Amino acid sequence: MSVEEVRRAGVMARVKDGKLKVSSAAEMLGLSYRQGKRLWRRYREKGAAGLVHGNTGRRSNHGKPGKFRAKVLRVVRAKYSGEVGQRFGPTLAAEHLASEDGLEVHPETLRLWMLEEGLWSRARKRQPYRSRRERKARFGELVQLDGSFHEWLEKRGPRLCLMNMVDDATGETLAQFHQQETIWAAVDLLRAWVEKYGVPGALYTDWKNVYVRKPTEEEQLTGTPALTQFGRMCAALGTRIIAASSPQAKGRVERNHGTHQDRLVKKLRRQEIDTAEDANTFLREHYLTDHNRRFRTPAADGDDFHRKKPSRRELDSIFCLEQERVIGKDWVVRYDKRFLQLERESRYAPAGQTVLIREARDGQLTVLYRKQRIPWKEIAAPPPKTPVVVSPRMEIRRSSKPAATHPWRRMGWISGDARAVASSGSPNPGLPPLATAQPIRGHFYFGNRGDISILV
């Protein structure tokens, strides 16, 4: 019985007990008096079961035949079922049944059939449970790094990227404006952090090629770690890079971006700043100091996990691009469309060996062979090679195969025509005339009469 039918049975029970009149019961149920009398009559004859609708439990007149239902379910089970993440839903399965199998069935009907057969479940896809990660306990244990593209200068200047570093334990912030989120932008910010606080234990970054990359097949086979240029610099510092799988994973720096996009934009507007240089000056001298004073929180543990910062010379050797190049036979190394002539000294790299080229932030190059510097000078690029023009091959007219009785086949005899040509010179224009043929044994070549080798 449905809920409505149960409610009607309760009202009719009160009518039976004499506590309620039929007219009042019909009014309570929202029915006419005539319909109320019909319900009361059925209740008197059959009890509560008489109030159940007569079509309850009966097959619909518009229902599909049993054979058709069995065929559809057989196809669904064979082609469109499977694990929870692989099986087709009723709507998609109905579309494929119509287009591929020629079986027309309504998605809602198919859903009921699949539920009865266990081919579909009412469970919806739920988002995985996530809990907020607790802050690290110590300052410098983990620092989050990210870039935020925004109209920081609004319409007064170019669109910039705010490179932002936020300590996970305290919220201490250091930021710089750059044109793009490039490797040098990340290097400048990380070096500024190292010079101010020390070397952090780990960096939390995006899955971008600037910070991390997937290993190649060769690296997978050899077990070599896949490092970007920035990753190699961090490895030299002893800082581990952790790549976040989603923006929510590094929510500390993402929320920090939102704060800057509100407060910093308005402060830059009030200062009428319209260049990246002026914006960086404002960050260093005013904004970051006030921001950290307002939003910095004390760490759970007072220990500082930053390691001692390296010397300036060590930082210069770490924060540079490194690439290997092979020395040519002329002791020239090519790098970025430049030609570097290595100078020969007591310690020189032999041709064919590999040298390491370091490019500093200012573009200065250093060539190293076995960790030793090699002096070099830049030379002009060699002129492009002139393409070799291949002349078309001279066409040679070939004569038909001579008969067995041809004169040149007879030993010791030369034909009259051939002797006349030999005595008159070469018949081909442009060729020097041949010497007068002598009756000696040898070979003569006549180009215009065919390739003839005459033995005399």
Reported as a single tens digit per residue, the pLDDT across 183-193 is 999 999 999 99
Question: Strand, helix or coil at 150?
Answer: strand
Asked if 187 and 264 sit in the same domain, the reply is yes
State the pLDDT at residue 124. 65
Asked if 286 and 406 sit in the same domain, the reply is no
* Residue 189, in any domain of the structure: yes
State the pLDDT at residue 390. 62
Q: In 249-320, which ranges are continuous DSSP H helix? A: 251-271, 276-282, 288-295, 312-318
State the pLDDT at residue 356. 92
Q: Which two tokens stand for residue 301?
A: 């543990």
Asked if 84 and 228 sit in the same domain, the reply is no
Which of 33-37, 150-154, 313-317, 343-347 has the weakest average pLDDT? Answer: 343-347
State the pLDDT at residue 128. 73
* Residue 126, in any domain of the structure: no
Which of 33-37, 38-42, 277-281 ranks highest by mean pLDDT?
277-281
Asked if 192 and 73 sit in the same domain, the reply is no
- pLDDT confidence of 451, banded at 50, 70, 90? very low
The number of helices, as runs of H, and strands, as runs of E, in the chain is 14, 12
Strand (E) positions, 343-451? 354-359, 365-369, 372-373, 376-379
Mean pLDDT of 429-442: 46
CB distance 356 to 333 below 8 Å: no
* Residue 314, in any domain of the structure: no
Asked if 285 and 327 sit in the same domain, the reply is no
Q: Which two tokens stand for residue 92?
A: 């998609």
Asked if 404 and 366 sit in the same domain, the reply is no
Query: When comparing pLDDT for 439 and 384, which is higher?
Result: 384
Average pLDDT score over the chain? 83
Asked if 240 and 290 sit in the same domain, the reply is yes
Which H or E element spans position 28? helix 22-29
CB distance 202 to 239 below 8 Å: yes
State the pLDDT at residue 453. 45
Asked if 272 and 342 sit in the same domain, the reply is no
Asked if 177 and 205 sit in the same domain, the reply is yes
* Residue 288, in any domain of the structure: yes
Query: Which domain range does residue 41 map to?
Result: 3-51
* Residue 260, in any domain of the structure: yes
Asked if 39 and 70 sit in the same domain, the reply is no
State the pLDDT at residue 265. 93
Q: In 327-415, which ranges are continuous DSSP H helix? A: none
Tell me: pLDDT of 439 over 60. Answer: no
How far apart CA 258 and CA 251 sit, in angstroms, is: 11
Residue 218 belongs to domain with CATH number: 3.30.420.10
Tell me: pLDDT of 412 over 60. Answer: no
Q: Which residues pair with 316 in a beta bridge?
A: none
Asked if 267 and 345 sit in the same domain, the reply is no
- pLDDT confidence of 447, banded at 50, 70, 90? very low
State the pLDDT at residue 65. 86
Calculate helix-pair angle for 107-117, 66-75, nearest 10 degrees.
80
Please enumerate in sequence order all residues whose Cβ is within 8 A of that of 268, keeping only pairs 6 or more positions apart, or say none. 152, 153, 279, 282
* Residue 123, in any domain of the structure: no
Q: Give percent above pLDDT 70 in the chain.
A: 84
Query: When comparing pLDDT for 128 and 390, which is higher?
Result: 128
Query: When comparing pLDDT for 151 and 84, which is higher?
Result: 151
Our count of domains for the chain comes to: 5
CB distance 166 to 256 below 8 Å: yes
Asked if 107 and 238 sit in the same domain, the reply is no
Q: Which residues pair with 220 in a beta bridge?
A: none
Mean pLDDT of 338-360: 81
* Residue 372, in any domain of the structure: yes
